[in-house]
Structure 1
């Protein structure tokens, strides 16, 4: 075939090609899908075992060092506010008080002499018997003597205060929970001698996981019962939440306050603290793998049972624990959602029916 005939045939071939029907886009393949039907679950009561501890516990120590010569109370003794607890050998402190008192008396005598001399010179100056310079010198000596009196009086006050540090008194009504030194021992300033705890208010100290503590606030009411007397149930209010988790156990420490505790709540005994379920009896929980997160927004893929397609549904999340997350709003019982591959699905994508081969 010549070149001229080939060129003449090209338009005909192009026209014939344009008459052929356009090829249809291949249908999107049905996507196998791992899904589940939403089933609400009943909320269970959360219980934790803790220890009954004093809300206020104060260590008692001397502010000066010395030999412990007397300890009036022992472990477990009840004490009243102001009662004597322990005493140091105060011989050295007594001597310091006597020395300071004697120095004060000497300073006062010197000031009396200086003041008398100043008065006599003032009278002589008025009679022109002595010079003004002598009077001014006497005034300076009198002022210096007065300053010595003030200094000596301050030292006596200080020595008396130091003497009072040789005795310990109970700061409030309570019980002795620890003993740190025995009579005859030499103790340093600040060394613990006794520990006194109040008995009118106590705490139940418990450790809880991170997933539990985020739903709590100060003032939350717990039901507390000692394990040795489970029938003795009282209400306690959450008083303190640890600012950070324990670095080893990763648990958070809570202190539940109990005012006017019954006798069964002995210090150091174990107790169970229970948090009743919320007013709603059921909650919806889904696997965390079902949550699709885009920025701050969270959604799940809901399967349309009629068209077998997935649609994104915004949801509000609650607490998460053990691979499950609570859905506060956005889902209803009986709906089917995707629980795997949520980041590879697209809006309106067809999926295999539940139970059909995938």
Structure 2
């Protein structure tokens, strides 16, 4: 082999020395960087909210049905045979509309008899009155007898009373004739038909059931543990399932003192204050009752609650140092995405709302305030 040039050997030696120096420098710096990292812990940002105790409202939601306040079963005030029926189920009626009619023949005869009796009574009264007046003119003559005057006066008064009696009987017969026509007394809708043409009806027997549409209500069944909440509700509103998102005012009118034997709930009726145009009987509605909380609570995100065994707790963040500490709290109620804290933290304190299971006591964080939407 030939000789290696001196320049090449020199370059190799210089490169080796440089690499050794660099390795020694890196080896020396690693412990220093590690010690520097250990002495300066990383401060991570943490989302926080400020505790604010407020007297909030709660909503009790119940399913209900639109019903009429008044639903009457209409019937004839006299007996007879039905010869006509003008309505069916679902027919809308106005005051005075004909619903059904009885055979009026017998009642027309009764009117004729009463009218004839009145004519006869009026004739008797005219004769008796004339006799009385003629005899009264004989006063002072030898033919005048006071006892006879009294008798004729009595006969005239009796005849007058019979005229009044005949008038009353005629009016009663005319009323009975008018009662052979069954008419609606208010605006409404027919919900049931209980008789057919040709059927002989007794006095007062039901012919049709009419629900009045001038006053509508929302009927709900209240569970027994919600009775107090319904009584104390300060505001009520409802939404129709056919028109969601549009609330209408309602007011409690009646709360039954006894439970329904089938559903075991207490029927409650809420008056519709201003019914919408498209509301109809039998529609399904959602009734919401607004009631105030008895105590002030602080609504926080559900993610802020740390379950420490069986005791809920929150991480309280010190506003000056950023250090966190775990503190047990009392929860008034739970919701889908929030919790209402009743006690355990103070107004104005900051609590962490995210990553609570990764925090440790005494850990330092950088608070990042989160805007919490107020919950009803």
Which band: TM-score by shorter chain?
A: 0.5 to 0.7
Asked if 1:124 corresponds to 2:134, the answer is: no
Asked if 1:77 corresponds to 2:97, the answer is: no
1:158 corresponds to: 172
The CA deviation string for residues 155-192 of structure 1, in whole angstroms up to 9 with x for no partner, is 11221222222122221222222222122211111112
1:227 corresponds to: 241
From 150, 162, 178, give the equivalent of 2:192: 178
In structure 2, runs of 5+ residues without a counterpart are 1-55, 299-331, 333-340, 346-376
Asked if 1:275 corresponds to 2:285, the answer is: no
Deviation at 1:205?
A: 0.5
Instruction: Name the count of aligned residue pairs.
Output: 249
Counting only pairs closer than 5 Å after superposition, residues 200-349 of structure 1 correspond to structure 2 as 200-217=214-231, 220-247=234-261, 249-276=263-290, 278=292, 282=297, 333-334=343-344
Tell me, in whole angstroms, the C-alpha distance in 2 between the residues paired with 1:75 and 1:174.
Answer: 12
Tell me, in whole angstroms, the C-alpha distance in 1 between the residues paired with 2:68 and 2:296.
Answer: 35
Distance 1:268 1:111, change over 3 A: same
In the superposition, the TM-score normalised over structure 1's length comes to: 0.62
Distance 1:123 1:76, change over 3 A: same
Deviation at 1:207?
A: 0.6
Tell me, in whole angstroms, the C-alpha distance in 2 between the residues paired with 1:108 and 1:102.
Answer: 10
Q: Is the 8 A contact 2:68 2:212 kept in 1?
A: yes
2:74 corresponds to: 60
Higher helix share: 2
Larger radius of gyration: 2
Q: Is the 8 A contact 1:118 1:138 kept in 2?
A: yes
2:182 corresponds to: 168
Instruction: Determine helix, strand or coil for the equivalent of 1:266.
Output: coil
Instruction: Determine helix, strand or coil for the equivalent of 1:63.
Output: coil
Deviation at 1:220?
A: 4.1
In the superposition, the TM-score normalised over structure 2's length comes to: 0.59
Distance 1:220 1:246, change over 3 A: farther
Distance 1:197 1:332, change over 3 A: closer
Distance 1:246 1:128, change over 3 A: same
Deviation at 1:232?
A: 4.1
Deviation at 1:255?
A: 0.8
Tell me, in whole angstroms, the C-alpha distance in 1 between the residues paired with 2:70 and 2:296.
Answer: 38
Deviation at 1:208?
A: 0.9
Tell me, in whole angstroms, the C-alpha distance in 1 between the residues paired with 2:282 and 2:217.
Answer: 10
Deviation at 1:109?
A: 0.6
Counting only pairs closer than 5 Å after superposition, residues 181-200 of structure 1 correspond to structure 2 as 181-200=195-214
Q: Is the 8 A contact 1:79 1:174 kept in 2?
A: yes
Distance 1:185 1:260, change over 3 A: farther
Tell me, in whole angstroms, the C-alpha distance in 2 between the residues paired with 1:46 and 1:175.
Answer: 32
